């Protein structure tokens, strides 16, 4: 009887040991499978994070067009700044026997963005300003060709001139040459005022429109108001005029 009992006991012990070992192996296999899955997921995640996101690139044609537009907005055809801003410096100058020259500058050191010669003698303009307020209107025609070319108002070459409602001939655009540069350089330190520049002779005097060596000038700050693409107004800022500008200049394209 003792012998069968031992056999049964050994069989039970062997069966239990085999079962536990099998379960343990199954658990290890399951754990190993889960670990492999987690490693696979982490590998895919790391790979996806390491792969850079492709950036969209603009075509070369679009980049070239963008640069062209920025360049066009930065400068005008004449190389001058495109925008004067709401405050500008205006200078009237000319020989005693010559015509009026008018220049608008963004600042004292910059070249004039608008420079014209009026048919009005500077002596007559001085008399008009001494008698009261002066309104100067410059008008030009709007042509279809100009609309296609998109010519700036300040770049128009020819103007009809009116002073206090009276027609005063024509005004023409002037090139900013050495003669005009010397005169504006001489009045550069002056922010507001009027006077005479002595000692300008020969070719330098011709910039004022005559052969007289003395050049009369008036210099002041102006407020610039842009009504539209075809209209701008400049009002002289004078602190002694109780808010009323002594000189106003209107540019109109009709």
- What's the average pLDDT block by block, 10 residues per block, for the chain (254 residues)? 45 41 50 57 50 53 49 39 81 91 94 95 86 93 71 94 94 93 94 84 47 82 95 88 78 96
Q: CA-CA distances (angstroms) from residue 163 to 7, 11, 134?
A: 135, 129, 7
Pairing of strands 193-197, 134-140: unpaired
Q: CA-CA distances (angstroms) from residue 62 to 41, 55, 67, 69, 174?
A: 42, 16, 9, 11, 37
Pairing of strands 231-236, 87-95: unpaired
Amino acid 36: pLDDT: 56
Distance CA 24, CA 72 (A): 80
Q: Token pair for residue 62?
A: 């679009």
Strand stretches in 70-213, DSSP E: 87-95, 99-105, 114-121, 134-140, 158-163, 166-173, 193-197
Helices (H), ranges, 75-194: 122-131, 144-149, 178-186
- Residue bearing tokens 């001489």: 186
Q: How many of the other CB atoms lie within 10 Å of CB of 133?
A: 14
Residues 6+ apart with CB under 8 A from 198: 213, 214
DSSP structure class, residue 246: S
Amino acid 213: pLDDT: 72
């Amino acid at each position: 009887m003792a012998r069968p009992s031992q056999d049964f006991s050994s069989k039970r012990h062997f069966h239990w040991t085999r079962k536990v070992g099998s379960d343990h192996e199954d658990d290890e296999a399951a754990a190993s499978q889960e670990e492999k899955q987690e490693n696979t997921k982490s590998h895919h995640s790391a790979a996806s994070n390491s792969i850079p996101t492709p950036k969209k690139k603009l075509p070369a044609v679009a980049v070239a067009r963008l640069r062209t537009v920025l360049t066009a907005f930065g400068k005008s055809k004449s190389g001058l700044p495109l925008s004067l801003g709401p405050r500008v410096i205006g200078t009237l100058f000319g020989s005693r026997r010559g015509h009026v020259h008018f220049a608008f500058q963004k600042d004292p050191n910059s070249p004039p963005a608008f420079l014209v010669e009026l048919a009005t003698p500077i002596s007559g303009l001085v008399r008009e300003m001494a008698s009261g307020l002066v309104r100067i209107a410059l008008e030009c025609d709007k042509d279809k060709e100009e609309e296609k070319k998109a010519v700036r108002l300040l770049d128009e070459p020819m103007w009809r001139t009116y002073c206090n409602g009276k027609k005063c001939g024509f005004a023409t655009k002037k090139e900013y040459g050495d003669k005009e540069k010397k005169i504006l350089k001489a009045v550069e330190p002056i922010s507001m005022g009027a006077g005479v520049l002595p000692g300008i002779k020969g070719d330098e005097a011709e910039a004022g429109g005559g052969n007289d060596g003395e050049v009369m000038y008036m210099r002041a700050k102006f407020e610039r108001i842009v009504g539209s693409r075809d209209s701008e107004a400049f009002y002289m800022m004078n602190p002694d005029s109780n808010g009323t500008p002594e000189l106003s200049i209107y540019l109109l394209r009709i």
